[in-house]
Structure 1
Amino acid sequence: MYSGISVLHDKKDIAKAYVGEVKALYDSLPTENGKVSFRALSSKTKVVNHIVFACIIHLGLQEQVVYDRAIHIPNHVPETLAAVRKFHSQTGVSPTVREVAIAIKRSTSTIHQDLIFLKLIGLVEYWSGMGRSIRPVEEPPVDLEELICSVNTLAEK
């Protein structure tokens, strides 16, 4: 699958907090055959399971996890990425969270969650609290459609 990705930048980053929480839980959980249960990991955190999955990818731990719970990447995540890319290519500047939300008819809180996911897997750069800081990564380490297909494959096993 994918190796760990390092795209976290600012110190007050919610994505970084999620990664820390998932790593701490991962380290505290018992293993079976050297692997941690995704169900156990995702049920002990308040983070939605696709963000937990993104944290696992970010940490490079995907081979040390047993995927015993379905992972659903919401349909609007690709829409969010497409809106960021389109806005950036058309205007040459980064969109605001509100502009992305308006473009795909979603709430700003949904866009924030999508951006955290996209940041963790290395498809966007985004600095919380900084206006117009959402940018698509020029050479992304993963393909979102490929990742979605692999998640669907994991869920079928």
Structure 2
Amino acid sequence: MDSQDIRYRAGDAAMAETERKQADDNNNKGKRDQKRAMAKRGLKSLTLAVAAPVLLTLFTSYFLGNQARSSSWVLHLMRLASSGLMGLAAWLVWVDGGFHKKPNALYLYLAQFVLCLTTCMVGSGLAGLAVCLCQSAALFRCYKAFNETSPVAGNMVKPCLAFAAFVAAVNVKLAIA
């Protein structure tokens, strides 16, 4: 009789182990589904954060841009890349909760974005120089604010700052000539 009890208990333990594994698998499946849904939301917000500034910059430079004194296509492409990079940097700050902790960073991002769009419309010369210098100042402050929240986002602002300084130098050259 003892041997039958042992077999029954061993079988009972095996069934309990199987039930536990199935419960763990169901629990892990639920966690995987939650992670997958969270990743999809993150991908959607990343797409929006990068595509919206790029599309607005493209629209502004194509339809509202100063066509009489149009700069080279390289500057337009660099402006699009700068807008996308700033959108990515802003998304990184937003993901880390930086805009809630430091709302000043959001205002600086929006200010530099509006100045970028204004640069597309103004063109070159003294007015373009003034706008580029203001954008460079906003980008520098953006760099400081983003770097406090996310050093990676702060490093993404550096090429945008270099581009804005380059455009300002080009405008100085055009204003003098």
TM-score by length of 2: 0.29
Larger fraction in strand? 1
Q: Which has the higher contact order (CA 8 A, sep 6+)?
A: 1
TM-score by length of 1: 0.32
Structure with the greater alpha carbon radius of gyration: 2
Larger fraction in helix? 2
